[in-house]
Amino acid sequence: MKASPLPAALLAAAVLFGAGLQQAPAADTLVRKNGQTLEGKIIGSGNGNLRIKMNQATISVPLADVKQLRMQAPAEFTAAAAQLSRGDAKGALAALEQLNKTYAGLPAAWAERAAVMLGDAKLAAGDKAGAKAAYELFSKTYPASVALANLGMARLAVESGDMPGASKLLEPLAAKSAKTALPADADGPAFSQAFYLLGRIDEAAGDNSGALENYLKASALFPFDQNAVADAKKRAEALRTANPGLIAP
């Protein structure tokens, strides 16, 4: 099965961070749990520690001691997200591999995105085993980001034909969306992606009405991920063309 286009929540994050490059302070800022504030250039993380360069000295800080972190996303992150959006997964892989190696476990939103993007890029490039490994590593590294991890594994399941497995992973997001009038910034794109995938699942099962309903939810009710919206609209139109008179339940 051909991999579907990548979700734009990641690109949206890249655009947001990229736009912030012009306004963000030159120095990265780290606040420790004891209240101490460090300013400098974060040059990497790994093995449970973060490294920040301050003037000519480099200080190592345990990740467990970090209370707050403000760091602009590297230009490589924004460029890789743009490549993924254009469908150039192989072109983005080298940058994503290096970003995840350099900033392993960094408690920053863009670093979380980069970790899940690595799985997305591998999946789009046809490396399902590599995608699975990346998503599993993401789950272990960022256990609080359950929705992103589940979406990644659900995409992998859909592309592998495991529709029951994908459905089970998406159920919590669908249930949460039913209780949400105005989704949080992080939830909106996740809901859009989830309903697009649920539409794929229904379509594969021959439930065209259910698929149309989920595609409409992805594109109209939760239009927060531009790739999911575009893909859902295309599939909804194709369903209507192939099934004149088709309506959502």
Q: What is the CATH number of the domain that holds 237?
A: 1.25.40.10
pLDDT of residue 7: 54
Mean pLDDT within 51-72: 94
CA atoms within 13 A on the CB side of 38: 24
Beta bridge partners of 180: none
Distance CA(126)–CA(163), nearest Å, equals: 18
Residue 248 lies in a domain: no
pLDDT of residue 185: 80
pTM for the predicted model, two decimal places: 0.77
Residue 4 lies in a domain: no
Residue 2 lies in a domain: no
More confident residue, 25 or 37: 37
pLDDT of residue 225: 85
Mean pLDDT within 19-33: 69
Distance CA(20)–CA(43), nearest Å, equals: 19
Residue 1 lies in a domain: no
pLDDT of residue 2: 41
Domain count, the chain: 1
Instruction: Tell which residue, 186, 171, 173, has the closest CA to residue 224.
Output: 186
Sign, CA dihedral 177-203-157-99, equals negative
pLDDT of residue 16: 46
| Predicted confidence (pLDDT) at residue 93 exceeds the cutoff of 50 | yes
pLDDT of residue 24: 44
Q: H/E/C letters for each residue in 54-100?
A: ECCEEEEEEHHHEEEEECCCCHHHHHHHHHHHCCCHHHHHHHHHHHH
Residue 249 lies in a domain: no
Residue 193 domain boundaries = 9-242
More confident residue, 2 or 240: 240
Mean pLDDT within 29-49: 95
pLDDT band at 159 (very low <50, low <70, confident <90, very high): very high
Q: Residue 114 — φ and ψ, nearest 5°?
A: -60, -35
| Predicted confidence (pLDDT) at residue 3 exceeds the cutoff of 50 | no
pLDDT of residue 86: 84
